[in-house]
Structure 1
């Protein structure tokens, strides 16, 4: 069922409607409940003292009423059913307003109330007119508008009243609950309930009433302890017996004065008064078994003995707990370094929590509150159970181990494949298992095509790493030439690519530049990385100065060549920038000091041609500095 509780729209007006409202505090059990019976058949008529409307067994006309679980049997402008929105879901009082005069249609005396006690009266109302009826009543029909009045048992003093305001017909039937709060008179245990229709009958103003309830209304009272900030105290076995100091704090939402009676229970359901404990503060005796405490509150002391005349706080529990057992390990965890690590896990009870330590006793807390823990390092960790809200710990800790194993160390390779030759890919030796992307499980595989290849390498701990091979067609080796720059030799490749170089055909390296090389006849070697082909080229290496400074200081005074002595025949020629021959000579004895006809030539760049039998001429320039 749905409850549509109207917390009084009319609070914003200054008229009589402002007295409608629900109990703002704690409600007691119903002391009176009129549900008009169960079933869908017609109920018995009300007594003549209750209503002066005429009782009928079908749908009532103006000035009539019935008690039934069915509506709209004959009147097609009414809803055809009651929605399940009241407490009882049975019969209801159905009233068709008098078409001549507004006024009272219900009066009933409610007894067995407590004197000088605040109560809440409530009832569910429903406009039974179906606003979906076509061309019957204008708009939504005449609205219903009911006024409730509560009188003292002598029917001479009105205690409270309030009106619902207009409740219009709707397309879908719905119940709406209304309430009044009043205070019974001292020395009286009865009140008179009266209901009035504020409008007259006609096309509309047809209503149903159900679940008329009276119940006590008291303050919301909080029971608390200064020692803890919760509504229960959990006590460890080593702390038994225990005591608790409690304070009752009403919210003054209803009562102006307060009478207290503290109670205790061993099950939270059956309560016993604690003799003499009638103040807001309470100190318990020594507690050795679990108990519950609450306080009854009434506005007048005479009403404390009647549960219908007082309200009770929520229970404050003192729980004597058991020492928890050590948590149950859900198994050690094994992981590979670099992979996600599963949590270490233990099993505990719902009222327990786990603290993780770095030692079997003492030590440091490294994680708290959670039975799952993900450590950062391998090792053994220790889980200790504690009761939630209590300092009760298990006598032993549970060890759980994280084993971290390294993966095989691998490095990717870039290889070259010789034309028309197979290539062996080797994953590397070790106590491993292998799984190639192509499905092979051997350490080595033979390939004949360039491309990308990979192999998963797994060690005995189950940790795997992937090694990748990038296989390219081998670059074509070829030497375009060799250049000498002073004592440096540079081998110039004919093609682009990756090659290795050597001057002795034995020691190869990735660099094509060789330094500190003496003059002489050498052979330059180049090979591709796959070793498919090695090419060579013999060349003369002459150490030629880059500049001369003919100032007779003994350093770089002459243009002289080193290495020509290794050749049978050689000729050297020196030119200026205009191509004029300045000097020439043969063999290792050639030397030039920058003079022409005994005259000093100016500082400038000069050119040389060196001719050696069996080799291409060597040409270049040098600088004369003054």
Structure 2
């Protein structure tokens, strides 16, 4: 019923037993509640104004006249420590409200500790404290009440409807699970035969009127047509098995006879019918246990009985720790214990049936999600190397083996099925196949700007998933490097999947794009910066026809734009660089064959 397992204490006397309901419209005459809860058969009027003309008490507001509108009052005393709630059940087309006061005196009601005042526009069947027993998220419920022994409460129930079909009171909370017989203090009821009794229809109730000076006992039953003498019953105890109002008259010597009455109601005892075992995949999918309720009920009404499911027999007996109706199986084999409970009286239940939840394990695959094929290899084998003979394998390419050989790049999807009867549990895994070739550097461009900055661009024969690195710097995913320092550098391109690399050495220098040898001491000579970081550097200058014009060395003053003392004309001129590399070899700087302009 709730996450704590609800104990429902209910006498539902709609129909022929409506006349047995106990109702009081006044706080001073509030009906005491003990282990079993009397149920109102309908309120009528409000008696004395218990609020002395006030217009508001907590959430309850004055309607026409007083705060009370067709009211009923009850009182109860706490016998144990725990968490308490209650459900007030009624016809969903009607509008009922309540206020709960913590006090032992109607003259000092104070403000209610729990209160409900809604118009029931959502057609709820319950209001109360704790949780709606139907499991819905009901705004007309207040928080649970934590109670202690000796606390006393007064409950006012109001009817704001034109219709008045009556209501039931059902107590709930873990206090009734732990202390079903003493949660409410029965000393509040002063009656020879004790408080009202709710029992299961497969049990016998014994009423005890034993009195020390009794001469005789006369027992009566009102089953709806007034009290009638029960023939042959004159003992101090009476065993009964039918619902009704019972009366005893204790005949005493001095004529001061005792008369006591008590209400007894039998709630129907359910039977749990056998349930079929279930089989499900252990893939995190929830099983709708509420679909098995009909099996458990076997034709019994879901309005009279409620079905819950538990992981242990003890929990089923206690009505505790009910499994979610959206149950996710996690075990290969699990026994589920079923409890069918009377809505009127949770002490009437049957927890005799179980069913097995058989979980089918999903196939476990040990395959790579990505496979890379390098260089000259033209095919690769992918899939599950250790297949299970009980599983079936199917690829998106149509093959039905656990391993396949492919020669084309792409995404290949493998579905592996574990079948048990009509249940199929499937694991799906995709494998991405990539064919890679080692990178090959086709060219390197070194561009120089007027501000002496440079841009180095690496070109490849084919695109791929590569990283680019200059010297030992951090690799990058672009083949463009900006503003490298003058000197010798190593450019490396690597395949990210381990399919080889390619390396080139370059030399970066700095030089002006033009010079003006006109004697003004500004840009009169042309030279190259950065030669000092190279061994034996030599700059050779040519004209556009390839004629050698001049050579510059590490400490040269620069070229003045002349050849053998003759000034050369304005034009573009080319140069190349040779030096001794780290291996001691004389070499020409690769990718460096640039030009500059002479202006006069």
**The TM-score by the shorter chain falls in which range?**
0.3 to 0.5
- TM-score (normalizing by structure 2): 0.36
Instruction: Report the TM-score, using the length of structure 1 for normalisation.
Output: 0.35
